[in-house]
Amino acid sequence: MGVEEGKEAVKEYIEDLRKKIHYHNYRYYVLNEPEISDAEYDRLFKELEELERKYPELITLDSPTQRVGAKPLEEFGTYEHGIPMLSLNSVTNEEEVRDYDERVRRMLGGGEIEYVVEPKIDGLAMELVYENGVFTVGSTRGDGKTGENITQNLKTIKTIPLRIFYDTDAPPLPLLEVRGEVFIPVSKFKELNAALGAKGERMFANPRNAAAGSVRQLDPRVTASRPLDFFAYGVGRAEGKEFSTHWEALDYLRRVGFKVSPLIRRFKEFKDVIRYHDEVKDKRDVLDYEIDGIVVKVNGIEQQERLGTISRSPRWAIAYKFPAREEFTSVNDIQVQVGRTGALTPVAVLAPVQIGGVIVSRATLHNEDELRKKDVRIGDTVVVERAGDVIPEVVSVIKSKRTGAEREFRMPDRCPVCGAEVLKEGPIVRCIGVSCSAQLKERIKHFASLRAMNVEGLGEKVIEQLVDRKMVSDAADLFFLTKRDLLKLERMGDKSAQNILDAMEKSKHTTFSRLVHALGIRHVGEHTASLLADNFGDVEALRNANYEDLISIPEIGPEVAKSILLFFEQGSTKELLRKLLERAGVWYEKKGVGVAEGEEEAVKEVLEGKTFVFTGRISMPREDAKSMVERLGGKVASSVSKNTDYVVAGEEAGSKLEQAERLGVKIIEEEEFKEMVTYSPS
């Protein structure tokens, strides 16, 4: 046998060994029905490790030995979902869920409707991308359009197959996107906390927090040490395969190796959906994973497509939540919190109580009308719940426990922070002070936040000191701070000050949607900011928009439109934008990445159809760089392959740079990339 024939035989043997290990992983971790002993499994795994050490050129991404081993990251990259990962609208009682069924039947115009129901796992939604059967990218849901690329961490979860099963008669799909939930089983969570406690380390409040903290570790070895699990619940894109029902898609996922909840059912009668909800609710405390309701989905794919979506939620699915967990405690005080829009919110200061694994010491009372309606007084014994198992809220007062020592609370007629008058707008009491420091602090926190201008390192305590010391009067003043200014702050060293200045300089290059979101216009969140950016393109066009222009945009109603108009009518807004754009040097991406419309085609000729991969630290936000490439006809990939045209290497570039060098992919620096995306007549 020749050398090449011998090597081919080794390759085939290694591939067969990998298939066996994948199969036994599936039997053990997914089905919980092992066919071999642990000792036999260990023997197979060690044999594979030894062969791969001897023949490193035969190591593949989907090898069982590659679950853990990647180097720690400095930060996570981003990944854009091929189909948005929508969030679900929720209902909390039988009347609301019956209304949903009636709405679905009315929109479909009659005919038979079948529902698929499943437990709503209290975990983290993920998307797994398989190319030709091999796991290539794993990401979080993020904002629905773009998530964090956490591939190397998801690879460590044993119930996520690195390669899916397929028959020789049915080869793997070119592309398969699998959606599901990562969680930590309750029993494993208790073991994890016990181990952390024994080492004197901080323990997690609940399984969801533990799962969230585990999948976002920059070092995959830490993630691998955590008992994470995964349930698949749906399919995104599936090239080369069509499903007529959701049930069929779930069955396919089971057959190719994914763990799917054994409690999923399908019903033709809606009364069975309600009965299922009550049955699962009774089981929630004996299941080995946290659930907070059920998910109800229309089974037929064609019916789903006819129903469509509204904003960022599907009309064909809904979450039917369980009653929130409740506890009794006492109200020690009622304080007023001032938000960034000036709204005064009464907050109950509670005797600390544990609810659903979380210690709660404060709970919202929403507004003055709600406070009066519930008649909450200082000293009362109250029922507190975590609404949606998340936000603490005072539900009711146990009036039979009153002693007469309880004190009524009155909302102040002046702002407790700046002393300005307050104005009642419906149920909301609002501070009208233009220089209110509470509003300013909250506005700057929002302005600098991750999804807005993303000024890294500018934390809450730094912002509070800047406002309290009157070093900033609006968000634009941040860009005029010097190192000498920052060094005056408590606990501020030379390096920290420089890092903040560098982060502020970096944040000056942004996108129009981020800038609009950062301005903190009332009722304008990230999604609405994106709609405004898509429809107006720049500040001048948005500032000159009238009421009709705004309400002509789907999803923008009268209240939002009026709020936008009011914001741009303010003299303080004009001054803020002047300081940001004319004096501070903030620059946002317009159509064509800042080039004139006629010049854009010349740039497109360079990037059209080209695939870019970014690695290491670059000066601009990754999301903005990606937007530049895609706007000009290119693509951005999360990993390097032979199809990659350019790798843009920043500081401290890692394994992607090494992969590019091995494959002979062209490597460029950030400055060269910027030249490529900027029009030059030469």
Active site residues: 120
The conformational region for residue 669 under phi > 0 = left, psi -120 to 50 = alpha, else beta, is beta
- Separation CA 219–CA 76 (nearest Å): 11
| Start-to-end C-alpha separation, the chain | 59
SS3 of residue 237 by DSSP? strand
CB-based contact 628:636 (threshold 8 Å): no
Which candidate, 464, 589, 457, 456, places its Cα nearest to that of 516?
Answer: 589
E strand or H helix at 272, and its extent? helix 270-283
Q: What are residue 127's DSSP bridge partners?
A: 139, 179
d(CA 555, CA 629): 28
The answer to whether residues 247 and 116 touch, using CB atoms and an 8 Å cutoff, is: yes
Whether 62 and 134 have beta carbons less than 8 Å apart is answered as yes
Say how far apart CA 233 and CA 301 lie, in whole Å.
Answer: 15
Q: From CA 476, how far away is CA 581, in angstroms rounded? A: 9
Residue with tokens 């992919």: 665
Question: Is the distance from CB of 360 to CB of 352 less than 8 angstroms?
Answer: yes
- C-alpha dihedral (525, 395, 123, 453), degrees to nearest 10: 20
**Which runs of consecutive H residues, i.e. helices, occur in 508-546?**
512-518, 526-536, 539-543
Distance CA 536, CA 513 (A): 10
Map tokens 């081993």 to a residue: 69
The token pair at 152 is 């190397």
Question: Looking up tokens 């502020």, which residue turns up?
Answer: 504
Residue 223 CA: distances (Å) to CA of 25, 147, 179, 486: 18, 18, 20, 36
DSSP of 438-452: HHHHHHHHHHHSTTT
Residues in the chain: 682
Which residue intervals of 55-113 are DSSP H helices?
Answer: 94-108
From residue 602, give the alpha-carbon distance in Å to each of 2, 396, 648, 679: 54, 65, 21, 7
Residue pair 68/299 in contact (Cβ under 8 Å)? The answer is no
The SS3 call for residue 98 is helix
What letter would DSSP give residue 25?
H
